[in-house]
Amino acid sequence: MALIVQKFGGTSVRDRDRILNVARIVAGTRARGNDVVVVVSAQGDTTDDLIAKADEITHEANKREMDMLLSSGEQISIALLAMALQSIGCPAISLTGWQAGFRTDRAYTRARIKKLETERIESELSKNRVVVVAGFQGINRYDDITTLGRGGSDTSAVAIAAALHADLCQIYTDVDGVYTADPRLVPNARKLPSITFDEMLELATLGAQVLNNRSVELAKKYSVNLEVRSSLTDVPGTIVKEVADVEGMLINGVTKDVKVAVISILDVPDVPGVSFKVFSLLAQRKINVDIILQSIGRENNKDLIFTVALEDAEAARALLEENLARFGGHRVLVDTDVAKVSIVGAGIQSHPGVAARMFETLYENNINIRMISSSEIRVSVLIAKEEADRAVAAIHSEFFD
């Protein structure tokens, strides 16, 4: 008998029919003799709708209250799914994040899991029940509800799989696996039978929302057997694992991230310590910086240019403007009309021409590159937001057609 964790995203539990469909998948897995823990997200666009509701009240909602609100979406799903399971004769019990033992840090709306106390889940499993857990949520040390950041239910599922040493963690979604590009954007994208944790982590971090990047990080750390598959068709999905099946694939995927902003600090003095002051300040506020460019010094001044997540852009601007005198900068500019387009693949480090082929494709399509960054397994370019879809399609066709 195996222990299987199955996670179902928002579209998979969108309405009554989809919930009954999920109940059949789960009950089938249990009927084959497995213990099952199910993690669910909020139905359909519930989380977006809740955010919009908060926005109707205030644009600066208190983050604790935001988490109180957002966590309600998943609570609806667990109750409905448990009822659906019971209605088809499958014993089941729903648990909120705190009932399931998710302990997080204090960072409301983007909390990190610190500990998972599994006693309750294990005791329910020993009573032969399917345990239905609310994804995306936990509690902090003040016993207040926290949420794990958008897409966080994937992380809840992988955390349970890791803590219980589950045999398999299946992420059921509305596509039947991980593709070489978002299939909604590139219709002839190909499904990957498998992908390594490292490549998946890059893809997820660079915008492929099919898996949340923290979930991939966790799965790698605890060697969780991870599969992405469809809740609507019963075909094998994509296995995410440590070692690649096929060597020699140049790249695995093309992805875009439109939720980025470029921040430029103009005319900072060309002296030691400026970057340290700027980036340590941002780090203290937990604002992640990605691509960094520093201009050549001119007349004892230089510019510092870097990207942050779009949601952090205003906080970063305010913080930097407040502290401008400390670095001696002149002005802070924020540009949100940008997108990051990336290629990912282990082949990049062994094939020197890959980046050049990407740049050539952009050139042929008359798309201007504003910034570039690369690692052993990825190349990212920053371009105008309105060109992002065209760039992804062109690069995908260059490498995969």
Residue numbers of the site for ligand ADP (CB under 6 A)? 9-12, 41, 151, 173-175, 178-179, 181-184, 208-210, 253
Backbone phi, psi, residue 237, to 5°: -95, -145
As to burial, measured by CB atoms within 10 angstroms (0-12 exposed, 13-18 middle, 19+ buried), residue 372 is: middle
Question: Which CB sits closer to ligand ADP, 74 or 290?
Answer: 74
Residue 90 CB, shortest distance to Mg ion, in Å, is 25
The residue number with the shortest CB distance to ligand ADP is 9
Location of structure tokens 């889940």: 121
Site string for ligand ASP, 114-143 (x = CB under 6 A): ---------------------xx-------
Question: Which CB sits closer to ligand ADP, 37 or 178?
Answer: 178
**What is d(CA 256, CA 208) in angstroms, rounded to the nearest whole number?**
7
Binding partner at 174 among ligand ASP, ligand ADP, Mg ion, none, C-beta below 5 to 8 Å by kind: ligand ADP
Q: What's at 53, amino acid-wise?
A: K
Question: Which CB sits closer to Mg ion, 44 or 151?
Answer: 151
Q: Is 77 in the site for ligand ASP (CB under 6 A)?
A: no
3-state secondary structure 303-352: EEEEEEEHHHHHHHHHHHHHCHHHHCCCEEEEECCEEEEEEECHHHCCCC
Question: Which CB sits closer to ligand ADP, 168 or 315?
Answer: 168
Question: Which CB sits closer to ligand ASP, 149 or 269?
Answer: 149
Q: Is 43 in the site for ligand ASP (CB under 6 A)?
A: no
Taking alpha carbons only, the member of 54, 382, 3 closest to residue 224 is 3
Sorted by sequence, the CB contacts under 8 Å of residue 260 that are 6+ apart come out as: 290, 307, 308, 309, 310, 338, 339, 340, 382
* Residues 137 to 156 in contact with Mg ion, rule: CB under 5 A: 151
Site string for ligand ASP, 148-177 (x = CB under 6 A): --xxxxx-----------------------
Residue 152 CB, shortest distance to ligand ASP, in Å, is 5
The residue number with the shortest CB distance to Mg ion is 151
Sorted by sequence, the CB contacts under 8 Å of residue 188 that are 6+ apart come out as: 400, 401
Residue 153 CB, shortest distance to Mg ion, in Å, is 7
Q: What interhelical angle do 354-364 and 388-400 show, nearest 10?
A: 130
Q: Is 42 in the site for ligand ASP (CB under 6 A)?
A: yes
Strands 253-257 and 168-173: unpaired
Question: Which CB sits closer to ligand ASP, 151 or 207?
Answer: 151
Residue 325 CB, shortest distance to ligand ADP, in Å, is 42
Contact 250, 192 (CB under 8 A): no
Candidate segments 146-154, 216-224, 301-309, 393-401, binder of ligand ASP by CB under 6 A: 146-154
**What is d(CA 192, CA 123) in angstroms, rounded to the nearest whole number?**
37
Q: Give the three-state DSSP class for 43.
A: coil
Sorted by sequence, the CB contacts under 8 Å of residue 168 that are 6+ apart come out as: 2, 4, 5, 161, 225, 227
Question: Which CB sits closer to ligand ADP, 73 or 183?
Answer: 183
Residue 185 CB, shortest distance to ligand ASP, in Å, is 20
Question: Which CB sits closer to ligand ADP, 11 or 140?
Answer: 11
Q: Is 10 in the site for ligand ASP (CB under 6 A)?
A: yes
Binding site residues, ligand ASP, CB under 6 A: 9-10, 41-42, 47, 73, 135-136, 150-154
Binding site residues, Mg ion, CB under 5 A: 9, 151
